[in-house]
Amino acid sequence: MFFFSKTLAFISKHKPIMETAVQTTFFAMLAIMLVSVVIFFRSQRSFVSLRRHPGFIRLMDITGTLSNILPRIPLITFGNDWALSGKHQPFKNAGWDVLTFTSFFPVPKTELIVADAVSLKDISTHHFKFPKPIDIYSILGMFGSNIIMTEGEEWKRHRKIAAPAFSERNNRLVWEETSRIVSDMLSTSMWDKKTSVVVEHALDLTLPIALMVIGAAGFGRRISWEEDSDIPPGHTMSFNDAVHEVASKLVIRIATPNWVYPFSHRLLRIQAAFYEFELYMKEMIQDRRDSLDEQHHDLFTVLLEGNENDSLEDRLTDRQLIGDIFIFLFAGHETTAHTLCCALGLLALYQDEQEKLYQQVTSLFPADGSIPSHELMNALTYPLAIFYETLRLFPPVASIPKCASQDTNLRLVKPDGSIGTLPVLKGTVVNLNIFGIHYNPRYWDSPEEFNPSRFLGPYNKDAFFPFSAGSRACLGRRFTENEAVVVLSMLVHKYKIELKDPDAYEGLTMLQRREKLLASKQGLTVTPAKVPLVFRNRV
């Protein structure tokens, strides 16, 4: 006790001196660190080659786990919503559509951020020069390697088996199942014969629709709008519940270490869902193998048939098949649901655009009220244009990382409009900024405006990147397009979509209303926070 009191007395007496010493030590350490960083960067090839090009310097990189969790901190992080909130503004401020990003945690490096259509075309066309940095995608391999997280020969094996599954036959099935699902929903007690239906969050409508579509057209399993609690022997959870938990709780599963799960009933349910999903997939593989002579056109069956018909050395393992179907579930569920949610919100805001959609749909849909046939897909140009414009304004994926596999030169548009080149050294990470390219006024007139008509005529396809491009373009593009056209057409044909509380938007400009209604957050995908709408029966 005596020693403790003496220590306190000493600290109190010499406090100013100690504070000065601590401050001096801190700034000395900071100076040493900065000098070390400068020396490192001066010797780092990628930094030296790009040091005269405009860009940013931060402590943390923009592709690491911490960077995708932490908010914007000056000089430390760009923030997990840097692409979503900045859009094209950082490029406009710099005068270039390709910028550098230098960081020194976890390791010093210089990356590129790209919102230039010329550069994007080169990167997507020359895939061998700019493959995916597969270490970033390893978190998606919980069920086995899959088409998203692989490169080289392994990726070719996945694509060879998966590509034929996304056929026109499957697209027709998507159309038919989506039509049935929406029709069944409108006949439930919540919707049938109601003058109006209030939906507190449009995502509560689009998520189950997307889940049912992927269940039927993806797995050959129809999910009912009524509660389905059927749990088969050997399981602890129904197929519906397992698929829903896996599709909606992926971020939690990725971010939570295994040792935490026993302390939370909610986490244990998520863990159980992932186990149950894998168990269901294994059973389905065996069931389909036992009945391959039966005619099924769902994605899972066609994928399995393609694998069984391939040579032994090129076949995927059961675990790889499950990995692929998991990725198709995630990509076909969450991204489609989020985009449809935003599209419904935009239609509520822009009543003139909704009226154009209604007029086209009414002119093409059967007069007897029957479900529209797949032959109408190519004629329904306006719902697809609305879907595309929504994808442009709210791309589900904010950025796509690539990595230079060799020293090369990247073409880009210089501030004066001429084409120049930028040296890119092997190992440099290149981030394709989807928001930046989608809001770039060089390629889009009035990019902030919601104008679906821009997709009814010629547009710069190299500047439209929601499905990626080149050999790594999304295989399920037509799958999701068929689904979106059906959902938007059938809902608007029967209901007028309005804002739930229009008074809350009084006095705001249209852009401010849109930002308020469709405020989004950045996770694995861009997610609308809350979109409250009213559906008024047109009858």
Say which range, 36-50, 108-122, 306-320, 425-439, has the weakest mean pLDDT. Answer: 36-50
pLDDT at 3: 39
Q: What is the pLDDT of residue 251?
A: 82
Least confident of 83-97, 300-314, 411-425, 520-534: 300-314
Inform me whether the pLDDT recorded for 138 exceeds 60.
Answer: yes
Residue 468 region, left (φ>0) first, then alpha (ψ -120 to 50), else beta?
left
Given a cut of 70, whether residue 16 has pLDDT beyond it is no
Q: Of residues 46 and 475, which shows the higher confidence score? A: 475
Q: Is the pLDDT confidence value at 13 over 80?
A: no
CATH architecture under which domain 150-398+470-537 falls: Orthogonal Bundle (1.10)
Give yes or no for residue 32 having a pLDDT over 90. no
Going from the C-alpha of 354 to that of each of 33, 176, 251, 515, the distances in angstroms are 57, 24, 34, 19
- Res. 398: pLDDT tops 70: yes
Residue-wise pLDDT for 187-216, tens only, equals 998 999 899 999 999 999 999 999 999 989
- Residues composing the chain: 539
Confidence label for 113 from pLDDT (cuts 50, 70 and 90) = very high
Torsion angle, alpha carbons of 174, 178, 181, 187, to 10: -150
Cross-strand pairs, 424: 408
Residue keyed to tokens 């999304």 = 474
The Cα 184–Cα 501 span in angstroms is 28
Question: If you average pLDDT over residues 330-347, what whole number do you get?
Answer: 93
Concatenating the DSSP letter of every residue in 105-123 gives BSS-EEEEEE--HHHHHHH
| φ, ψ dihedrals at 72, nearest 5° | -70, 125
Which DSSP letter does residue 77 get? B
Q: How many CB atoms lie within 10 A of CB 445?
A: 9
- Which pLDDT does position 140 carry in this prediction? 85
**What is the crossing angle of helices 336-349 and 381-393, to 10°?**
100
Q: What pLDDT, on the 0 to 100 scale, is given for residue 10?
A: 46
- CB count within 10 Å of CB 274 equals 18
What is the pLDDT, as a whole number, of residue 210? 94
- 474 labeled binding residue: yes
In three-state secondary structure terms, 399 is strand
At 4, the pLDDT band (50, 70, 90 cuts) reads very low
Residue 292 has a pLDDT of: 62
Q: How many CB atoms lie within 10 A of CB 241?
A: 20
Beta carbons of 181 and 443 less than 8 angstroms apart = no
